[in-house]
């Protein structure tokens, strides 16, 4: 059993699942035998809500879990050198997850043409580079993952589009970024969404991550309790990649 999951969304900001709270998360992870987790919510849930952050810290401490719990926040790159989160807000958390491709959110730079895999490839690697260069980034979430809600493709069409997109990303450029990630000790998320969305092009990407000694963050990216169960979808992929405990990313400082 892999012992960490660092991208579990809570209902701190009003998740649709009223039972999906900190206590529920910890209980489910204990059953799974997880030793260390991170509980994360979006940065827009906390803007100007420091009391909400403090309440979350207190809830985690009150739970007195037998597993190590970290408290993180997910932000996004809006464009190069511009993020959705301030340094002050980021300082309240143990780690910052940075999303390079939250195209569904207002203010996030988008590809010139969502139907052109070459254009999307250029934009994806550009925003990936932006996330790597950002000084407050601790881990990068769902890189090169294409959302069917954004691209409006069927699973089959999206899978083929993703393969073509990945072929248009310059390998030397990508490898350079992965080496920077390794040197800085950043993490790169792998989540069940790649299975749910049939994103086969990500297999080669994670193989490259392993070759360049990039640590992986196993993330459920779950917004309800049912989605947390999808972590089992990753097991055969992690086994094929040869992922062991030593390949996993952990925040540097616990609560």
Alpha helices per DSSP H over 134-223:
148-151, 155-167, 171-184, 193-196, 201-211
pLDDT tens-digit map of 132-181:
999 999 999 999 999 999 999 998 999 999 999 999 999 999 999 999 99
The backbone torsions φ and ψ at residue 15, rounded to the nearest 5 degrees and listed phi first, read -60, 145
Note the pLDDT of residue 47.
64
Calculate the alpha carbon distances from 27 to 20, 38, 46, 65, 86 in Å: 11, 14, 24, 9, 32
Range picked from 13-17, 62-66, 243-247 for highest mean pLDDT:
243-247
Lowest-confidence region among 47-56, 171-180, 189-198: 47-56
3-state helix vs strand vs coil in the chain, percent to 5: 45, 15, 40
Residue keyed to tokens 């699942």:
17
Percent of the chain with pLDDT over 90: 59
Domains identified in the chain and CATH numbers: 4-247 (3.20.20.140)
pLDDT tens-digit map of 215-241:
999 988 777 667 777 788 899 999 999
pTM above 0.85, yes or no: yes
Cβ neighbours of 223 (radius 10 Å): 18
Provide the CB-side half-sphere exposure for 85 (13 A, CA): 30
Q: For residue 43, is it left (φ>0), alpha (ψ between -120 and 50) or beta?
A: alpha
Does residue 80 surpass a pLDDT of 80?
Answer: yes
């Amino acid at each position: 059993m892999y012992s960490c999951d660092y991208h579990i969304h809570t209902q701190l900001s009003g998740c649709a699942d009223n039972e999906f709270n900190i206590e529920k998360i910890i209980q489910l992870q204990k059953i799974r035998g997880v030793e260390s987790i991170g509980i994360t919510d979006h940065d827009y849930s906390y803007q100007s809500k420091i009391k909400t952050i403090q309440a979350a810290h207190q809830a985690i401490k009150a739970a007195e879990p037998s597993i190590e719990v970290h408290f993180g926040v997910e932000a996004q790159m809006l464009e190069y050198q511009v993020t959705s989160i301030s340094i002050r807000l980021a300082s309240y958390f143990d780690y910052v997850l940075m999303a390079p491709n939250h195209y569904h959110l207002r203010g996030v730079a988008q590809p010139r043409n969502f139907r052109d895999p070459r254009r999307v490839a250029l934009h994806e690697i550009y925003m990936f580079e932006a996330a790597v260069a950002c000084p407050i980034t601790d881990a990068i979430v769902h890189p090169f993952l294409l959302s069917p809600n954004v691209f409006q493709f069927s699973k089959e069409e999206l899978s083929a589009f993703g393969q073509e997109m990945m072929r248009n990303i310059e390998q030397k450029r990508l490898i350079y970024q992965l080496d920077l990630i390794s040197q800085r000790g950043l993490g790169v998320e792998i989540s069940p969404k790649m299975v749910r969305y049939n994103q086969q092009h990500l297999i080669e990407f994670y193989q490259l991550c392993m070759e360049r000694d990039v640590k992986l963050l196993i993330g459920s990216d779950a917004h309800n309790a049912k989605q947390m169960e999808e972590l089992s979808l990753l097991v055969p992929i992690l086994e094929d990649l040869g992922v062991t405990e030593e390949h996993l990313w952990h925040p540097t400082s616990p609560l």
